Structure 1
Amino acid sequence: MKRKNNPEKDKKKKQLSSAIKYSGLAFQMIVVILVVLYAGIKLDEYLQKEFPLFTFIGAILGVFLALYFAVKDFIKMK
């Protein structure tokens, strides 16, 4: 005897799967931004710069890299 699929159960599983994918994507973006920003901060400390140039560059670069990886993964998901 075959069991019929419950449409509500399938919908909930799909929603949960989507939530897990997007939360993982958000976590990845945060990690990329923080790692590149941290590298910029440490480089500024090492070079003893008055103006935190590498911190600024790290923040901007981190955001762009995070967006790049997010878009790439988002396209792959579909």
Structure 2
Amino acid sequence: MMEEERKKPNSDNSKGQSYANFAKYTGVAFQMMAIIGGSAFIGYKIDQYYDHKVQYVTAIACVLGVFLSIYQTIKQLKT
């Protein structure tokens, strides 16, 4: 009977850890969406203000937002 109890994983601890990981990674995903969406919105507003026919500021802002969000994600997941 003692061996059976030792072999059982602590389900409460592993369940709590999995919820913590889920919350952490979900927060990272929402943060990435906010950074990319915010930079795209700013780029769009700049293009709209200057009345650009080709929205190159939006494209540049989106690419910079993607790089910034990837950098931020790697920085967060290292710790």
- TM-score, scaled to structure 1: 0.87
Residue 19 of structure 1 is aligned with which of 18, 22, 30? 22
Secondary structure of the residue that 1:44 maps to in structure 2? helix
CA-CA distance at 1:58 after TM superposition: 1.1
Read off the aligned partner of 1:43 and give its amino acid letter.
I
* Percent of residue pairs bearing the same amino acid type: 31
Count how many residue pairs are aligned between Structure 1 and Structure 2.
71
Name the counterpart of 1:68: 71
Distance of 1:75 and 1:29 partners within structure 2:
16
Q: Segments of 4+ in structure 1 off by > 6 A?
A: none
* Amino acid across the alignment from 2:35: V
- Superposed counterparts of 1:42-61, under 5 Å: 42-61=45-64
Tell me the C-alpha RMSD between the 2 structures. 1.0
**Structure 2, unpaired ranges of 5+:** 1-8
TM-score normalised over the length of structure 2:
0.86
The gaps in structure 1 that reach 5 residues or longer are 1-5
